[in-house]
Structure 1
Amino acid sequence: MVAQSVGFDELVQAAGALMFGAGRKFIGIAGAPGSGKSTTVERLLEALEEDHPGQVAILPMDGFHYDDAVLHQMGRRPWKGAPDTFDVGGLVSVLRRLKDGSETRVAVPVFDRDLEISRGSARIIPDDVKLILVEGNYVLLDRTPWDALAGMFDLTVMIDVPEEELRRRLRARWEHFGLTEDQIAHKLDGNDLPNGRDVIQGSRPADIIYRQDEGSL
């Protein structure tokens, strides 16, 4: 099946349609680093909240980053953000708890970008939430161990952004954090953009391709 290419209004409509089904629903939203996943999901949450207040929540994949101490032990700290630097089993476990629905409150971790660490139990998802937006680079990645997420979503979305625009956004991000030119070069061409190509080339086909409206970021 060929994925449907949509703008933001159509994305809201597709997500909103899930609110009327029985049981809790999950949307997997993937994209390369710098594609605007977090911003898109926050916009989507805000739009859905207008008609469904308190019934939508976000589960960010970035909350499952390994701690820097673990990455140092692994020898992978310079490549933080690569597919092997996440606790995929932890994400799968939390999704299963959320799908089970027997708990009244599930605490989930959130990544603090300013501190560059994951904060455990930083967000609560209560049992009256009907739709969970699961966002992250690799939630559709078709390789072990990420393929354990296959079949967990009721709708999947890939955010489509040209690589030259990804490079521009990522450079601006790392400049904002005060990195040197050498550090930025490693981040871009040694980590972020190769990871982005992994996402684009190695993910399962999404139900929807979202192309951001001009000026949406």
Structure 2
Amino acid sequence: MIADSLDALVARVRTLGTPSSPGTPPGRVLLGLTGSPGAGKTTLATGLVAELGPDAVHVPMDGFHLANRTLAALGRSGRKGALDTFDGWGYLALLTRLRHEVDRTVYAPSYRREVGEPIAAEIAVEPAHRIVVTEGNYLLVAQAPWDEVRAALDEVWFVSTPDGERTRRLVARHSRQRSVEAATAWAAEVDGPNAVVVESTRDRADLVVPGSLA
């Protein structure tokens, strides 16, 4: 199924929070957005949260990037963003907490592109937040621990954007810290293989969202 408007997406999220039986209080909704690097996941997530209002919060998977010092120690700095450069178990544990710990504040990490590092406990998910929108590349990967992420979420949507537009966005993003030549090489040699992995998970998504809605 393919979505056709932001309003339709907002309505779908609201439906996810509808109790299954009369008199049952609504539970917390956990919505996942996935898609290849540069697809527009973060833009869509922030747009949805803005439309959904104060009971929604954005929690990015990117907060579980391994720190740059850790990546250097592991010899993985040159492919930051690949599957094994994230703390997948930590992300899964957070999703479990967000599902069950609804009566107290749960703090989640963010990711700051300007410093290229995760920031611990920057996002406060309050009891009043009944909708959590999380996004990241690997939500539908069938490899431990990522294969458990899907079950922790109510739905996962795949954000689909043409390769040319994704590459343009990635080069612009990477050019903030690199030369245009280095940014172009990173988009092709690092983001490119990651996109192949992510695109292979598309059929597992509940909904395909055109990147133009992001």
TM-score (norm: length of structure 2):
0.91
* 1:32 pairs with 2:36: yes
* 1:16 pairs with 2:14: yes
* 1:45 pairs with 2:49: yes
* 1:187 pairs with 2:191: no
- Range with bigger deviation, 136-145 or 107-116: 136-145
Q: Distance in 1 between matches of 2:150 and 2:141?
A: 9
The CA deviation at 1:178 is 4.3
Question: In the alignment, is the contact (CA less than 8 A) between 1:28 and 1:153 conserved in 2?
Answer: yes
Deviation track 1:87-143 (CA, whole Å, cap 9, x = no partner) reads 011111111111112551001000011000000000110112111111111112222
Gaps of 5+ in 2: 20-25
Q: Distance in 2 between matches of 1:204 and 1:64?
A: 25
The CA deviation at 1:20 is 2.9
Partner of 2:207: 208
Q: Which amino acid aligns with 1:155?
A: E
Partner of 1:79: 79
Q: Which amino acid aligns with 1:31?
A: G
Gaps of 5+ in 1: none
Question: In the alignment, is the contact (CA less than 8 A) between 1:109 and 1:119 conserved in 2?
Answer: yes
Question: In the alignment, is the contact (CA less than 8 A) between 2:49 and 2:56 conserved in 1?
Answer: yes
Secondary structure in 2 matching 1:20: coil
Q: Distance in 1 between matches of 2:182 and 2:122?
A: 30
- Cα distance, 1:103–1:66 mapped onto 2, change above 3 Å: farther
The CA deviation at 1:67 is 0.3
Q: Which amino acid aligns with 2:56?
A: V
Q: Distance in 2 between matches of 1:32 and 1:94?
A: 22
Q: Distance in 1 between matches of 2:8 and 2:102?
A: 32
- Cα distance, 1:178–1:108 mapped onto 2, change above 3 Å: closer
- Cα distance, 1:179–1:102 mapped onto 2, change above 3 Å: closer
Q: Distance in 2 between matches of 1:64 and 1:4?
A: 29
Partner of 1:95: 95
Aligned length, in residue pairs: 208
Partner of 1:150: 150
The CA deviation at 1:59 is 1.2
Secondary structure in 1 matching 2:108: strand
* 1:159 pairs with 2:159: yes
Moved over 4 A (4+): none
Partner of 1:59: 59
- Range with bigger deviation, 21-30 or 177-186: 177-186
TM-score (norm: length of structure 1):
0.89
Deviation track 1:39-80 (CA, whole Å, cap 9, x = no partner) reads 11111011111xxxx211111000000001110011000111
Question: In the alignment, is the contact (CA less than 8 A) between 2:170 and 2:187 conserved in 1?
Answer: yes
